Structure 1
Amino acid sequence: MALNRITPYITLFFSFLILSCSSDSDSSGTNTTDPTLANKQALGASARDFLSAEEFTSMNVEIAYVDGFRPSDATLSNLRAFFSERLNKPDGITFTETVVSASKVGSLNRDEYTKIEEDNRTVFNVGDELGVWVFFTNENSESDEGNSRILGTAYRNTSCIIFGETLRDFSSGFTGPSLTQLETVTTEHEFGHLFGLVNLGTPMVRDHEDETADDDGEETPNKHCDQENCLMYFQTVADATSTTMNGLPTFGEFCLEDLRANGGK
């Protein structure tokens, strides 16, 4: 699948070891009587809320999963360390686990996984606590095509989905990577987009947004970092599908500058 336009969600896909994403423009209106509205905004809208303690001094991350697809304890430990290292949340970070009924529709499209969130999400912004939804599904993405496989998608300001069946497909082979490696890298990459990277709600201190040539040969910004050693580089998660990855990737120099300038550590 070639990236030739900005489409309305961030998608992480694996295609011949090439990874790419696009930006989310979803917003659900201005009905302020809906207490969940604050968690139904465009991707990147809560970047500073994640990073700083100005509005939210704590965070509650709802780890939702289908039975049998719970992320490993090591993955959750990695996420805790990742959040503590980058986010200013002096009152702490809580994980709330929610078991979701297995989907029977097959591969999921955006409407379907958004509906799953709306039917099952229990954690929202409350007072000075930021609510987040991360769903580890038993399905793959309907947008998979040929050798292109989507691993995860950040699609609202505090929401992302991890396609657990696809991650298991990659880790099940004799030469496949560990499931914890795939879960950790994919989830942390998607949180990078929730944090507003790259140029997705968190302004760039220095220009480092990658550009990919489309079918017409025109270069299009793709909301990824152009530093190859960065967690937000477009191929980082594709590299995680290999057993040759040496340690877990982290944010590069330019992305760290952006996060710190927008209230993060």
Structure 2
Amino acid sequence: MKQIKYTFYLLSLILFIGCSSDDSGDSSGIPDNDLGLGQSAHDLLANDIFSTMEIEVVYPEGFQPENESLQNLKSFLQQRTYKTSIDINTREIELNSEGPYSIEQIRSIENNVRTSFNTEDKISVFIIFANGKKQGDEGTSNTLGTAYQNTSIVIFQETIISFTNAPGAPSKTSIETTTLTHEFGHLLGLVGIGSEQQNEHEDPNAEAHCITENCLMRAEAEFSSGIMGMFGDNIPDLGSECILDLQANGGR
């Protein structure tokens, strides 16, 4: 694992060294849910191995996401994948800590509370809305979310709530939706971490992010300091180059 930090962007994207074929699935041949980021991009996009998708969303009391945000995520995935059904199940959990959280701590929580895993025809994704900030946040570089494994995302809900309470900030639904779809874009292999680039469009100053203006996968979409300046209260979509990458890897 390596964490990328730049002068202008404190990136939350967690990358992993690729696993060998010997440790990419269980004895049944079903891919694991704890592989490197982007390694399940095709499986999430296409319909040849997994026909359905289940998204397990967990949160501690007081940090529940908006229903509209989850429906927006579902619509985004229906537009970009070939799954015959996408189910989102929400559940409240108890957490004894309040953050700030390292990715290692989030991974440990996932190991304790995750109940949905890949089956023969279903791919499972785990999303936790954390009751704390990301460890290392300081000043205006506050991380909104992180995709940290092939089917795992953390949303730093405390950061989102505190930011949306500021005067003139975008709505909670807008920021949740943008963060959810942006981090899911990383699970889908963007940019260049599982879905091969059809044309070069990776930001040279922000690995695994898009340089196309107004694209959902720009690095600013992960941070409270950049999201308002980029998008206001609008929910961004993928740019044409990112869509081409997904289509080439089995998506719509």
What TM-score, normalized by structure 1, do the two folds share?
0.85
Q: 1:130-160 deviations in whole A, cap 9, x for unaligned?
A: 0000100111111212332111110000001
Tell me what 1:76 maps to.
70
Supply the distance in 1 between the matched residues of 2:126 and 2:203 (Cα, whole angstroms).
27
Aligned equivalents of 1:191, 1:89: Cα separation in 2: 15
> Could you report, residue by residue, the CA deviation over 1:9-58 in whole angstroms, capped at 9, with x for unpaired residues?
589x9x98x57454411678828359997001000000000110011100
Whether 2:154 is the aligned partner of 1:181: answer: no
SS in 1 for 2:191: coil
Shift, 1:175, TM fit: 1.9
Matched letter for residue 189 of structure 1: H
What do the CA deviations read for 1:58-88 (whole angstroms, capped 9, x no partner)? Answer: 0000011111111101101111111111111
Identity of aligned residues (%): 35
- 1:211 matched to which residue of 2? 204
1:1-265 matches, within 5 Å, as 8=2, 20-25=11-16, 30=23, 32=26, 38-90=32-84, 92-104=85-97, 106-212=99-205, 222-238=207-223, 239-241=226-228, 245=232, 247-265=234-252
Report the Cα distance in structure 1 between the residues aligned to 2:126 and 2:88, rounded to whole angstroms: 10
State the 1:245 CA deviation.
1.7
Distance 1:36 1:62, change over 3 A: farther
The structure whose residues are more often helix, as a share, is 2
Q: Is the 8 A contact 1:10 1:153 kept in 2?
A: no
The answer to whether the 8 A contact 1:177-1:243 is kept is: no
The answer as to whether partners of 2:203 and 2:211 remain within 8 angstroms in 1 is yes
Distance in structure 2 (CA, Å) of the matches to 1:236 and 1:105: 24
Amino acid at match of 2:72: N
Partner of 1:218: none
Deviations 1:146-205 (A, max 9, x none): 332111110000001000000011001222221111110011100000000000010011
Q: Structure 1 residues 49 and 10, CA, compared in 2 at 3 Å: closer, same or farther? A: farther
SS at match of 2:203: strand
Return 5+ residue gaps in structure 1 as ranges. 1-6, 213-220
Q: What is the distance in 2 between the residues matched to 1:88 and 1:113?
A: 30
Give 3-state SS (helix, strand or coil) of 2:168's partner.
coil
Q: In angstroms, what is the RMSD of aligned CA positions?
A: 2.6
- Give TM-score scaled by structure 2 length: 0.89
Give the match's secondary structure for 1:211.
Answer: coil
Question: Residue 154 of structure 1: SS of its match in structure 2?
Answer: strand
- Structure 1 CA distance, aligned partners of 2:211 and 2:229? 21
Give the corresponding residue for 1:215: none
Classify the secondary structure of the residue corresponding to 1:124.
coil
Structure number with higher strand proportion? 1
Distance 1:36 1:183, change over 3 A: farther
Aligned length: 247
- Amino acid aligned to 1:75: S
Separation in 2, partners of 1:105, 1:118: 18
The one-letter code of the counterpart of 2:76 is F
Q: Which residue of the partner structure matches residue 216 of structure 1?
A: none
1:103 deviates by 3.8
Distance in 1 (alpha carbons) for counterparts of 2:197 and 2:118: 27
Cα shift readout 1:227-262 (whole Å, capped 9, x = no counterpart): 012100122344434596252100001000000010
The whole-number CA distance in structure 2 between the counterparts of 1:82 and 1:45 is 20
SS in 2 for 1:106: coil
Do the aligned residues in 2 keep the contact of 1:140 with 1:163 (CA within 8 Å)? yes
The gaps in structure 2 that reach 5 residues or longer are none
